[in-house]
Structure 1
Amino acid sequence: MTVLVVGASGATGRHLVEQLLIKKHKVKAIVRAPEKLPELWRNNDHLQIITASISAVSEKKLSEYSRDCQAVVSCLGHNLSWKGIYGQPRKLVTDATRRLCDAIKVNKPEQAVRFILMNTTGNRNRDLNEPISFAQKCVIALLRLLLPPHVDNEKAADYLRIKIGQHNKYIEWTAVRPDGLSNDNEVSDYEIHPSPIRSAIFNAGKTSRINVGHFMATLISDNNLWQKWKGKMPVIYNKPS
């Protein structure tokens, strides 16, 4: 497959690209700062590096970049700085999700493109009855007021759930929800659940970024796994050691 990845230079996006290359996929990576990428990437014939800010790429260019892709993955996130959290664009993830989906629809692919959004366990899947405590509801309400990136994550997933839905001719989607992210160097055992099995606020689990990258790459490669999780928001945790 050919896969378009946005947010490829981020902490999780890098792992995703590595896992896709291991699986012999062709990858188009849109990055703002290619100098931050591993040197080995520059000499890989299966990787095309596109230097651009996703917010500045025209609609025409987005449709061109995605035209021959069978999958599109967004690993976008806000930088953990004052500007990254409170500056513009506040709807980075939502706008990119919408624009990428629009680009796919313009191309009218013969087979539905697989769209994967990296999301968070702090966001509930409103297609399911995911109960949370009153205390967690209060904290989430506060996060919506104080942290624009949280609202961005919610709206991006809602765009897929509501606007794309379950029966779109051109797009199938899944929103992968890791819990507390950690940095590890090797893929380890992990488990996937339809909904969180612990509180994302008061009892968060751990999920290594490399495991997230591995799971997303496997979703693209494994048809059975994709059929299981398309149109859903799977939660990923590291298995307890």
Structure 2
Amino acid sequence: MERSTLVVGATGATGRLLVQQLLSQGQHVKVVVRSAERLPNAVRHHEKLSIILASILDLTDSEMAKHVGDCHAVASCLGHTLSFRGIYGHPRRLVTEVTKRLCHAMKATQHETPRKFVLMNTAGNRNRDLDERISFSEKCVIGLVRLTLPPHSDNEKAADFLRTQIGQSDPDIEWAAVRPDTLIDAPQVSDYELHRSPTRSAIFDAGKTSRINVANFMAKLITDDETWQAWKGQMPVIYNRE
């Protein structure tokens, strides 16, 4: 059966690049979007792209299970729009709620082997499975961000769901949460570094990560088994190589 990936957040700045990367590698891709017009023309009319017109949280459990049923992987590039409404409006737990519902749908449509869930996260979120220590001043700043900017807490809770509820030995789902630092635009894939934990402070010494590099790495996790075996169950941090 043809390998297929469901991508949510496909019209976002990184999501559309991930879709392009997967299609260029011969993958069949499904996207859930509210408007197909927001997809680039070259993507929108690709023969291997299936477009599901819907708001992801408006799908019923049975509809979501149907859409993930024949997919070997699910990828989320969801984020909050950088506007007052996007940051403080509802749903405040968009990434977390979609992550939970997609995982539940994957478990409701079991396969013979575990399927992949790849989440785009942030270097500002610690992997609490590891001893990722930060300074007192950074703890204070992140605590303030957590209280005042709901999207940060949303990213934390989405990753925590994968860590604590799916865990390392789920029979149906394997996962990875990709943590870029400050996101920038770039015209093409460049050299990048991968680390188990941040090598610099996301608050006081932030690195840069191009969106196209994030998309490239997420696509590799989905399509390359060696890459997946190296990073599954982890929260790899990705930086552009300086």
TM-score, normalised to structure 1, is: 0.98
Contact kept in structure 1, 2:36 and 2:44, CA below 8 Å:
no
Aligned to 1:167: 169
1:151 is displaced (CA, Å) by 0.5
Following superposition, which runs of at least 4 residues in structure 1 exceed 4 angstroms of deviation?
none
- Output the amino acid matched with 2:44: R
Which whole-Å CA distance do the structure 1 matches of 2:65 and 2:188 have between them? 34
Is 1:30 the counterpart of 2:32? The answer is: yes
Secondary structure, counterpart of 2:71 in structure 1: coil
1:49 is displaced (CA, Å) by 1.0
Deviation string 1:32-88 (CA, Å, 9 cap, x unpaired) is 121111112232111001111111111111100000000000000000001100000
Is 1:234 the counterpart of 2:236? The answer is: yes
Contact kept in structure 1, 2:7 and 2:30, CA below 8 Å:
yes
Contact kept in structure 1, 2:183 and 2:208, CA below 8 Å:
yes
Aligned to 2:225: 223
1:221 is displaced (CA, Å) by 1.2
Which whole-Å CA distance do the structure 2 matches of 1:153 and 1:115 have between them? 15
- Output the amino acid matched with 1:188: S
Aligned to 2:180: 178
Pairing of 1:106-121 with structure 2 (within 5 A): 106-121=108-123
Q: 1:76 aligns with which of 58, 75, 78?
A: 78
Aligned to 1:104: 106
Which whole-Å CA distance do the structure 2 matches of 1:43 and 1:82 have between them? 33
Aligned to 1:137: 139
Aligned to 1:43: 45
Aligned to 2:4: 2
Which whole-Å CA distance do the structure 1 matches of 2:120 and 2:44 have between them? 25
Which whole-Å CA distance do the structure 1 matches of 2:43 and 2:208 have between them? 28
Which whole-Å CA distance do the structure 1 matches of 2:202 and 2:26 have between them? 34
Which whole-Å CA distance do the structure 1 matches of 2:201 and 2:84 have between them? 27
Which whole-Å CA distance do the structure 1 matches of 2:154 and 2:53 have between them? 24
Which whole-Å CA distance do the structure 1 matches of 2:167 and 2:8 have between them? 22
Q: 1:90 aligns with which of 82, 89, 92?
A: 92
Deviation string 1:127-151 (CA, Å, 9 cap, x unpaired) is 0000111110000100111001110
Deviation string 1:91-124 (CA, Å, 9 cap, x unpaired) is 0000000000000000011111100000000100
Contact kept in structure 1, 2:200 and 2:207, CA below 8 Å:
yes
Secondary structure, counterpart of 2:190 in structure 1: coil
Q: Cα RMSD between the aligned structures?
A: 0.6
Aligned to 2:17: 15
| Identity fraction in percent | 60
**Structure 1, unpaired ranges of 5+:** none
- Output the amino acid matched with 1:62: M
1:232 is displaced (CA, Å) by 0.3
Secondary structure, counterpart of 1:116 in structure 2: strand
Aligned length: 240
